[in-house]
Amino acid sequence: MAGMATLYVRNVPPELYAKLQERAAASGKSLNAAVLELLERETEERDRRAEFERRFAEYKKRYRPIKGPPWPEDLIREDRDRGHKPEFGY
């Protein structure tokens, strides 16, 4: 295992340590192997999420959303903002 790094984790709360031990025992792995698996899975998930965000941002730049017809509320708001008064007096 030449070239492998060693990671020490300090101040692990007892409750978390117990849960990690239970998880390792349930999967038939050592605590070290279970923690490495969790770290690897989380790292891969973050990488996938970052790639998704990158692709989504690229997609949003390339494609503009299709606008539908205006909502009546928007038309009324635009008229009101321009200072137009309704012709059907209230």
Grouped pLDDT means (10 residues each) for the chain, 90 residues: 87 97 96 96 97 95 83 88 72
83 φ/ψ sector (left φ>0, alpha ψ -120 to 50, else beta): left
Cα torsion angle, 79, 84, 89, 90, sign = positive
Amino acid 1: pLDDT: 58
Question: How far apart, in whole angstroms, are the C-alpha atoms of residue 84 and residue 76?
Answer: 9
- CB-based contacts of 38, cutoff 8 Å, min separation 6: 20
What would the two tokens of residue 66 be?
Answer: 């299709």
Least Cα distance to 32 among 1, 9, 3, 2 occurs for 9
Model confidence, pTM = 0.61
